[in-house]
Amino acid sequence: MKKFTFKIGGVHPNDSKISAEAAIEPLKISPKIYISMAQHLGAPANPVVAVGDEVRTGQIIGEPSAFMSCYVHSSVTGKVVSVGPYKDIAGREAIHVGIDVSPDGDVWADGIITDNSLDVKFPTDRQTLLDKIKACGIVGLGGATFPTHVKLCPPPGSVAECLIINGAECEPYLTSDYRLMVERPEEVLTGVAIIKCILGCRAVVGIEENKPKAIESMKKALESLSEKNSEFNDIDILTLKKKYPQGGEKQLIAAVLGREVASGALPISVGAVVQNVGTALAVYEAVQKNKPLIDNTITVTGQVSPSQKNYLTRVGTPYKDIIAAAGGLPDGNIKVISGGPMMGRAVSNLDATTLKGTGAVLMLSEEQTKRKPAQACISCGRCVDACPMGLEPFYLLRLSRAGMMDALEENAVQDCIECGCCLYSCPSSIALLDEIRLAKASVMKIIKSRPRK
């Protein structure tokens, strides 16, 4: 069987998929939930509830404030106790709606279907589907949390030729997408068919070779669904070679279609639209069950973690409650990361709560996270070989340290996807990613400040 991958750069870190056999289980709902209004790419939502209001599960509590914004819904039933600043994982303040959860359980908002029966018959009117996806606040769950209804509306003159579903889950430790493909393949594939219907193109689900159970589960489900419904006929399951960061949009497009997205261009420029496995499931639930994006699957893992879990978690759950449910923080100096070890973010505030796009809670020991002292660059070029975007990280570092913003832009620092391949491959232990990330932020700020033509 032929296996596909991208050609430029990439590394092969240890999989560490030690939570792969942990079936998804519902996490006990916390007594108090804090739901951020800034949990999608673009402008934060505007809260539309006030202190003292009673809310139901799935009820709108935040409305879009701009074109690039999303609805936010209550993930629980209870009473609003606060609307205002609350600190995120980095200690920064954002507007959250705090809710005291009712001890009597969920009372669902009108129209939401709560049974788990499979429904593969869906309306084919494009605008009806888009309206449902928008109303349910669906965002990309592959990391960027791009509003899905916006992404599924290519700009005028652009044509989607292929929908690519990201089932690579190439980041070490993460297994939530894997479990969705193993446990809920029919629903995921129905979501794929819905998105494909909106775009009017074929679809490919790319899964890395280290997930044979997921490949088998998805292929078996697709075969069964295709026999009953023609909407599933133009969907293929593609086996990918194991390589990081295969889940990056441009890398996945290169692997599946053999096409390169130019600097500054969007995937649609080469006829591709990329969505995540979790997003496909959320689309299914929005269209078939009228269910907003109020929960997602979160992996709790790490060699030092007391247990390995994949929890179905309500949006707005405190990190401390997730960790407590999995056995608590182990002894010693432990670093908690939201996400994986390559692209995740350190959690400095365990009172912070999960977002729609939270995918993992990773616990690492001091020994695993302690960096070696940085040495002088030996000009070996390994960071260049590893960069999946074809950049020269060592040169970008020099430009950054010299404060040469124009040169950084000319050398495409804005194309950096912050995957960490440069840091991972550097024999001198230079903090390439840290400094390049800061330089990229500065350059992007300059670019955004320019008058639009």
Work out the angle at residue 200's Cα, subtended by the Cα atoms of residues 198 and 202, and round it to the nearest 5 degrees: 115
Distances in whole angstroms, Cα of residue 414 to Cα of each of 84, 405, 418, 443 = 33, 11, 10, 7
Predicted local confidence at residue 452, as pLDDT: 76
Predicted local confidence at residue 200, as pLDDT: 96
3-state SS, residue 73: strand
Predicted local confidence at residue 451, as pLDDT: 86
Q: Tens digit of pLDDT for each residue in 115-168? A: 999 999 999 999 999 999 999 999 999 888 999 999 999 998 899 999 999 999
Q: Tens digit of pLDDT for each residue in 51-83? A: 999 999 999 999 999 999 999 999 999 999 999
CB 228 within 8 A of CB 239: no
Predicted local confidence at residue 3, as pLDDT: 83
Average confidence (pLDDT) over 7-34: 97
CB 22 within 8 A of CB 300: no
Given a cut of 90, whether residue 406 has pLDDT beyond it is: yes
3-state secondary structure 382-434: HHHHHCCCCCCHHHHHHHHHCCCHHHHHHCCHHHCCCCCHHHHHCCCCCCHHH
Identify which has the larger pLDDT, 450 or 32: 32
Band of residue 264 on the pLDDT scale cut at 50, 70, 90: confident
CB 2 within 8 A of CB 71: no
Average confidence (pLDDT) over 435-452: 93
DSSP characters for 254-321?
A: HHHH---PPTT--GGGGTEEEEEHHHHHHHHHHHHH---S-EEEEEEE-TTSSS-EEEEEETT-BHHH
CB atoms within 10 A of CB 15: 19
Residue 251: which of 334, 364, 317, 166 has the closest Cα?
166
Judged by average pLDDT, the poorest of 263-267, 420-424, 436-440 is 263-267
Average pLDDT, the chain: 96
Q: What's the helix, strand, coil split of the chain in %, to 5?
A: 30, 20, 50
Residue 204: which of 150, 240, 151, 241 has the closest Cα?
240
Q: Please tell me the distance from the alpha carbon of residue 321 to that of residue 350, in angstroms, as a whole number.
A: 9
DSSP bridge pairs for 298: 311
Q: Please tell me the distance from the alpha carbon of residue 192 to that of residue 203, in angstroms, as a whole number.
A: 7
Distances in whole angstroms, Cα of residue 132 to Cα of each of 231, 284, 288, 435 = 19, 10, 9, 41
Q: Which single residue is written with the structure tokens 């707005």?
A: 316
Q: Please tell me the distance from the alpha carbon of residue 260 to that of residue 190, in angstroms, as a whole number.
A: 29
In this structure, what token pair is assigned to residue 160?
Answer: 């989607």
Q: Please tell me the distance from the alpha carbon of residue 163 to that of residue 35, in angstroms, as a whole number.
A: 31
Percent pLDDT > 90 in the chain is 94
Given a cut of 70, whether residue 427 has pLDDT beyond it is: yes
- Model pTM greater than 0.85? yes
Q: Tens digit of pLDDT for each residue in 377-400? A: 999 999 999 999 999 999 999 999
Given a cut of 70, whether residue 453 has pLDDT beyond it is: no
Order of strands across the sheet that contains 272-276:
235-240, 202-208, 162-167, 272-276
